[in-house]
Homo-oligomer: A and B are copies of this chain.
Amino acid sequence: MTAAALPALVNGATRLYAIIGHPIAQVGSPAEMSARFRASGRNALMVPLDVEPSEFERTVAALKAIRNFDGFSVTIPFKARMLPFVDRVLPMAARVGAVNAMRRDGDGRWTGDMFDGRGLVRSLTAAGHRLRGCRALLIGTGGAGSAVAVALADAGAASIGLYDIDSEKAAALAQRIARHYPDCKAVAAEPDPAGADLVINATPIGMAPGDGMPVPLGRLDPKTLAVDVILKPEPTPFLRHAAACGCRTADGRAMFEGQLDEVIAFFAGNG
């Protein structure tokens, strides 16, 4: 279909993608991905779907059977829970243990991959930050946090301290990284930013009205780069604190924008 034949908004022949999360109103993917589908001449939209956590599994099973859904993006809190719904798990997603994008292939099977960590690494590198040899502190080891940790190790980070309110989750991620990236010193750690070049909030804490810091961090060294994976509010409580300490900051747009081209290519069947 050529661009000239695209409907004003949507029609009966529109192919659908959805981003599945809870909450959902904050996500940027519907606007960005839909604009990109359209710019490439495709009659396709990405719509937001606000799925109750208690309903997740039966909802995904049903959505996969709807014939005009061609792919899904996955956001908080479902990235790890989506893994069992993917038939072919690509290597980065397997290493992370979570997916944030999946597509229906020509044979009807679903391929999934994880782009969050690579997206963040791409954006930080493009902004001139050197990740090879860096020492990172990561707060939160869920889907997004695991993706960021694996991508940092993949980019040559010297060490990653992993903090999670669930210390077993942090320890399990540390072991997984040690197995795949023996040169990166990944350890479950207290949330102490001393000596870290990079501190990353990969928890959802900060999104909800009234949220404060993900953990008390005290004063940050102004040489520290502070990164949040949350898109809204701008700035997040963590980045407001970091800016007040004189740190450079990168908000959730870094992770989000760094992966858009790659996710579009993935949905098109490449990668």
Contact = CB atoms under 8 A, between A and B. Distances in A.
B48 A68 contact: yes
Interface string A11-48: 11110100100101111111100110010000001111
Given A61-B58, A63-B62, A35 B8 contact: yes
Copies in the complex: 2
A49 B45 CA distance: 12
Nearest to A29: B12
Contacts of A51: 65-67
Contacts of A7: 30-31
Interface in A107-154: none
A11 B203 CA distance: 23
A210 to B, nearest CB: 20
Contacts of A175: none
Interface residues of A, number: 40
Nearest to A54: B65
Nearest to A16: B47
A118 to B, nearest CB: 22
A10 interface: yes
A183 interface: no
Interface of A: 7-14, 16, 19, 22, 24-31, 34-35, 38, 45-52, 55, 58-59, 61-63, 65-68
